[in-house]
Structure 1
Amino acid sequence: MARAATPAITALLSAEIPHEVLQYEHDPRRESYGEEAVRELVRVQGVDPAQVFKTLVVASETLPKGLGVAVLPVPAKLSLKAVAAALGVPKVTMSEPAAAERATGYVVGGISPFGQRKTLPTVVDASAMQWNRVLCSAGKRGWEVAVHPQDLIGLTAAVVADIQA
C-alpha cells in the first residue's frame, strides 16, 4: 500500500474504499475554505456546488466526548436543532476551533470526516444520497476526496438526517 498524504486518505486506503483525491491551489489569504473549495471544484471539475460537503464540529455536554460532527453541502446552512435531534442530545453549539482541531487532528478548513484523531458521533445530511459521489475534505486545505455517499456513511458510522436550516 502506498503511503498516504493525510490520515483521511490512509483511512480510505485501509478500508479499501474507492476514492479520488482532487487538489486545487489553496489561497492562504482565504478564510471561507468551503466557498473556495466549491469555486475551484466547480471551475476545474465541473461538479455541482451541492456535491461539495463541509465537515463541521459541534459541541454538547451530553455527547460522550463532548463533540460531534455534521457533514453537509457547503452552500447549506446548518440546523443545530436538527443535528442535536439526529445525535440524540437536547442541544448542540458550534465547537470552538481549537477544540475541533485537537479532537480531529486537522486544522480548520481541512477537517475531514475520515481519519479523525478521536471517533466522534457523525451525522451526514440526507441530501448526500442523491449523488453517486460527494466531495469532502481529504484532511488538508486544497485537498478534497470524492467518495460514494454510502462509503462516507459507512466509514464514519454516521446517521443520516436532514440537517439543513
Structure 2
Amino acid sequence: MSKKEDYEKRAEALIEPIVAKNQFELVDVEYVKEGSNWFLRAFIDKPGGITVDDCELVSREFSDLLDKEDFIEDSYIMEVSSPGLGRQLKKDKDLKRSIGEEVEIKLYKGIKQMRKNKEVSVKEFSGFLTAFDESTVTIELEDESAMELQRKDIAMIRLAIPF
C-alpha cells in the first residue's frame, strides 16, 4: 500500500464516525499534491445538499482527530467540502445511486470507432448509466444502443452536468 493510500484509508477511518453521527454520507477522501502543496480532502453529502455549516462542523472535529493522531508526515491543507455538481462516481454505492442518471466517462486509452466513415480513437462517452458489476459499466447511448466498458479502462466517471 502506498503512503497516499495509507493516509486516505486512515483519514477515512477517522472521519467516518463523525460523518455518520451527523447523518451525512462520506463520498470520498483523497490525499493529493497540487503544485507544491499536499491536500487532504474529504467530500461529504446529504439529501438536499451540504451547507458550509455542515462542512465546518465536520472539519472542526476531523481536524482535532488529525492533530491527535498525527500520522501524516508532510505539511498539508485539510479541506471538507461537498462533492459538487459533477461529482465523480468512484464506489459501487455511487454507481448504484446513479442508475438511470446521465454520466460522462473518460477512458485512459481511446476505443477505435467509425465516425463519418473514418476510424477515430474516442476517449470520452456520455449516456445513461444502466448497469454495472465488479468489472464493467454499461451506458445507454443517444441512439439507444448499449455500450459496455471495462472498469479498469475508465479513468473517470461522473454525473453529467445539465445545461
The TM-score range, normalised by the shorter chain, is: under 0.3
Higher strand fraction (1 or 2): 2
Higher Cα Rg, which structure: 2
Q: Which has the higher contact order (CA 8 A, sep 6+)?
A: 1
